[in-house]
Amino acid sequence: MNHHDVAAVQQLQAGLKLLMQGKYPEEVPEEGCSEELSAVIRLFNRLAWQLKELYDYTIPLARGILNVERPGKTNFLASGLKELHSKLSHLTWQAQRIEKGDYEQRIDFMGEFSLAFNSMIVKLEEREQRLKGEILIRQKAEKEFRLQNKLITDSIQYAAVIQRSILPDAVLMDKQTAASFVIWQPRDIVGGDFYWFVPRPDGFMAAVIDCTGHGVPGAFMTLAVSQMLKTLESNSLLTPAELLAILDKQVRETFYSSGKNQESLHAGLDMGLVFVNSVERKIIFSGARLPLFFIHNKQITEVTGARRSIGYESKTRLGKKSAVQFLNREIPCAAGDKLYLSTDGYFDQHGEKDPNPFGVDYFAQLLLEIESLPLEAQKNILQDRLRAYMGSEKQRDDITVIGFEL
Residue 239: closest CA among 167, 175, 106, 330? 330
Per the prediction, the chain carries an average pLDDT of 89
User: Checking DSSP bridges between strand 299-303 and strand 329-332, what pairing results, if any?
Assistant: unpaired
Give tens-digit pLDDT for 171-185: 889 899 999 999 999
Give tens-digit pLDDT for 4-28: 888 888 888 888 888 888 888 888 8
Cα gap 290→390, rounded to integer Å: 22
The arithmetic mean of pLDDT across residues 145-153, rounded, is 91
Residue 189: closest CA among 401, 402, 395? 395
All structural domains of the chain with their residue ranges: 3-100, 123-166, 167-405
Q: Write the single-letter amino acid at 212.
A: T
Give tens-digit pLDDT for 206-218: 999 999 888 888 9
Beta strands in 222-370 (DSSP E): 269-277, 282-288, 292-296, 299-303, 329-332, 338-342
Residue 337: closest CA among 403, 287, 244, 275? 403
Q: For the CA atoms of the chain, what is the radius of gyration?
A: 47
Report the percentage of the chain scoring pLDDT > 90.
52
Q: What is the pLDDT of residue 401?
A: 97
DSSP, res 332: E
7 by Cβ neighbours in 10 Å (0-12 / 13-18 / 19+) ranks as: middle
State residue 335 phi and psi, 5-degree precision: -60, 140
User: Checking DSSP bridges between strand 329-332 and strand 282-288, what pairing results, if any?
Assistant: antiparallel
Q: Write the single-letter amino acid at 281.
A: R
The arithmetic mean of pLDDT across residues 59-77, rounded, is 85
Cα gap 173→179, rounded to integer Å: 8
Cα gap 159→157, rounded to integer Å: 5
Q: Write the single-letter amino acid at 264.
A: S
Cα gap 190→179, rounded to integer Å: 27
User: Checking DSSP bridges between strand 338-342 and strand 292-296, what pairing results, if any?
Assistant: antiparallel
CA distances from 42 to 56, 75, 271 (A): 21, 15, 114
Q: What is the pLDDT of residue 22?
A: 81
Q: In this model, does residue 316 exceed pLDDT 60?
A: no
Q: What is the pLDDT of residue 107?
A: 80
Q: In this model, does residue 264 exceed pLDDT 70?
A: no
**Which CATH number describes the domain made up of 167-405?**
3.60.40.10
The model carries a pTM of 0.69
Cα gap 43→37, rounded to integer Å: 10
Q: What is the pLDDT of residue 359?
A: 94
Q: What is the pLDDT of residue 179?
A: 95
Q: Write the single-letter amino acid at 22.
A: G
- Which of 128-132, 235-239, 350-354, 365-369 tops mean pLDDT? 365-369
Number of other CB atoms surrounding residue 401 within 10 Å: 26
Residue 52: closest CA among 77, 33, 88, 87? 77
The arithmetic mean of pLDDT across residues 297-311, rounded, is 94
